[in-house]
Structures are given as structure tokens and as C-alpha cells.
A and B are shown apart, each in its own frame.
Chain A
């Protein structure tokens, strides 16, 4: 397709965006290797002494239990992608659906109800909401996913609503309505595909937000319940750094930073590539 070709062309001319794409790709490869059981499998084995310094046996040293920090940091790539993908995809789809409904039936009771729900969710302090969801779900591991999806969709929803309201008045949509196609078909076939630029950018922003939120939640004890994540490693490190052990902190924060930076650069590049007005300036 022409539009796709143009966007690839734009991305190719954007070194920062390209770098972001490469970084995200590398991390994705690592995550796949962990999924396939090739690397990072010994993240929970306590086969070292406590707080070993980096060396040939333990590249990044060990933590308080003698677990290998390199293995844990690598395994956490998989955790990050699991959380990021689940939250980004679900919240973006939910936002697309609710935003499209609100926009299509704008100024009706459907729109009013969705806007009200958005207003309510935006008015509850986020971490209190997550904590409450975590408790309502009795400490289930996916409580934080639910909480994030339930709140992250609102931005996507607002943007999609505005875009759908704009698309609704365009000729191709009016034509589809004139020949009597059902609303659901017009929305699914003709309207939502034209919001893909919003959805892709919002999904990458949600990915970043999910990973950052996981860190805070893990520190608060509401995050990853079994397994390991950069958030758990950082939570562990809050005590260690005061005693001068920086391995956990450095390993987790640097990998976290690299992945987030990659995604942010990619999101920016996508935004520029999709925005023809900005691209021409």
C-alpha cells in the first residue's frame, strides 16, 4: 500500500526512530529467546554467595540471596514484554472500541455514558485504584494488568472519539451510510482502519507506561507476584544501595532505560511518519 510505503520511507530517513526500532527489536529477540527457554532460565537459582561482585561466574554479580543478577535482568525482558504487550494491546483495543462508539454516536446517551466513565476513571488517583483492584482480586498476578487496562484506555478513547467524529462526515462514510450498510460494518471496515495511526502511537505509549507502572507497583508490593522483573529488582535494590551494593540497581535501571528509550523514539518516529502536516514542515 502507498501509505505503508510512505511511512517506511519516513522511518528510514529518521535515524533516531530507526535506532529505537533496532533497540526494541533486539529486546524482542531476547524476550523470545527467554520464552523458548534458551537463556535466562537460571534466574531463581541461588548458586552464589550473597552480594558477589561482578566476575566470570556471575557477570553482574549476585543479590542478597546469591541469585545471578545477569540472569534475572535477562529474564525480566520477558516479563516486561508480557506486561507491556498485554496492557498495550488490550487498553488500545478497549480505547478504540469505546472511543469509536462514543464518536459514532456522539452527543447521544452512549457517548455521555462513555465520557462519564472516562471522567470517573480519570478522577480516581491511579495508584489507589490499582491497590484497590489488587485487593479486590485477592493478590492475583494479573490484578495490575486489569487496573492498567481499565485506566489506560481513556487517552486512546478520547483521541479515537475525536477522529471518528471527523471521519463520520467524510464522503466515503456518508456514501456507505447512504447505501444502507449497517453501522457495525461501516465502523469496523471503513472508520476504525482509518484510526490506525492513533492506535499504533497510543499502543507504543501504553507499552512504555505499563512498564514504568510495573516498576512503581512492584515497589509498592502490588506488581509482579511470581517471577522477576526490573521493578522487583529495583525494589530489592532500595535497601542494597544504602549498603553500597549497586549491581541490582544498575542492571535493572540501565536495561529498563534502554528499552523505554527505544520505545519512546519509535513512538515519536511513528507519530512524525503518520502526521503528514508535520512531515511537510
Chain B
């Protein structure tokens, strides 16, 4: 009798750390010993009904993975940033221009990532950073567009993102962008696929819990492009969206298409107040 009681108690003990392990931790993210990153913030006003606090996905990772992001030398994403610096200065296309011809140094891109996706008045649509890069390539450089989720694009977006690292995410959701934002919100809460899951099913109602062997985060995109240990490359936001929608066993939208652009605007707005963190390291 006594023995049985003890085993039951041991089983209870065993189950406790597993739950605690999946929760977000309280570590502080300081990069290179001096750049403090806001990884927890009060939820923006439009989220006040569903979340109290927004948290970067960094908090949901193991200490070892977290450490990789705390030093740029250890962050494997920085190799791709180096490659993008070369691409930045490389002349391509019929117009004989490189990124540097118009923008000079990449440091002039400071603040850009924090406000994208953003309404583009001339085009009359909300544009992601990737769309803007390809617009520069095709209309100003007269070069070929890059594949939306390809390596060249992810690296360039990482370089541009790095210039805004530490600044608060602040995408506009009112004015002309509002209709797109509403569409993104609709998509966020729409269940898809054979598993009948919406983004909210996992990332709003179940963050901090396990999904099979992995921890569910809030699905914030302030750390993108993210270097993932599982595929050892930089991953763009739309590639991640595609992966998530596929995991619900649905047909996915096209990366770079209007649906994912709207969703990116909405998801980015859920992180308004967190620091731009990319290129981040995740598993």
C-alpha cells in the first residue's frame, strides 16, 4: 500500500517538470553584451481581449539555442548577412546598379524592418520587405526578381532587418492598410485543413504547451528571418506560414501572395512593441 502511494507520488513529480519546461522562461536577451532586446511587452491595444503579454519565440527555446542568439559570432544567421553585404554591393541587371548605387550603405535601412509590411501609395497595396526588394531589383536595377522564399532573398532581408535590430516593431494597421489587416485577422482565426486548426488554435490558445515534441510559441515574427537549426538556413516569414498551414493538412497559399501578405501584416501587428530581433536562432 505504502509502495503504491509512493509510485503515484513519483509519477506526479515526473509530470510537473514537463509542463514547466514548455512554458516561456524569464531570461533576458542581451546581444553581444550590450544590445538589450525587448522580448516581453504588454499586448497592443487591438489584442487586449485575447492576450495580456506578448513574448518573443526566443523565450520558448532551450538555453543552448537561446545562447546562440546572444553573440553574433555564434549566430549562424550572420554568415548569410555577410553574403548579403556582398550582394548589396554587386552590380546586377541592365541598369548597371547595385543596392548601394541608390541606398549607399546598408545602415541607411535602419528602421525599415520595424514598419514592414507597409502600405505602398504608388502601388496601392500593402507590401512586404521581400516585395520591396524585388521591386527594386526589377524596376530600378532591371535585374531578375529573386525567388520569394529563396536564399538570396532571405539573406538580403536579414541584412536589412539587422539594421533595425533592437527597435520596436511598429506596423501601421489603420488608414489604407486597415482592409488588408482585417483580411489578415480573418485568416488568423480561420480554421483550415483536415486538422481543422487556425493560427489562434496553437499560438493564441496553447502557447507554452507542447505540440508533440516541440514548444508552441506565440508565433511572433519579430525574429524573422530566423535561422533554424533543423534546416540550417534562414527561413522567411512566408516559408514559415506555409509550413504551418501545411501542418494543418491544408493546401497552402502561395508565398508572396496577397493572403500571406495580409497575414504577415496582421501577425506583425500582434508583435507591435517587441524589438526587431532578426536574424534570430530557433530550432
Chains A and B form a bound pair? no
* A residues whose Cβ falls under 8 Å from a Cβ of B: none
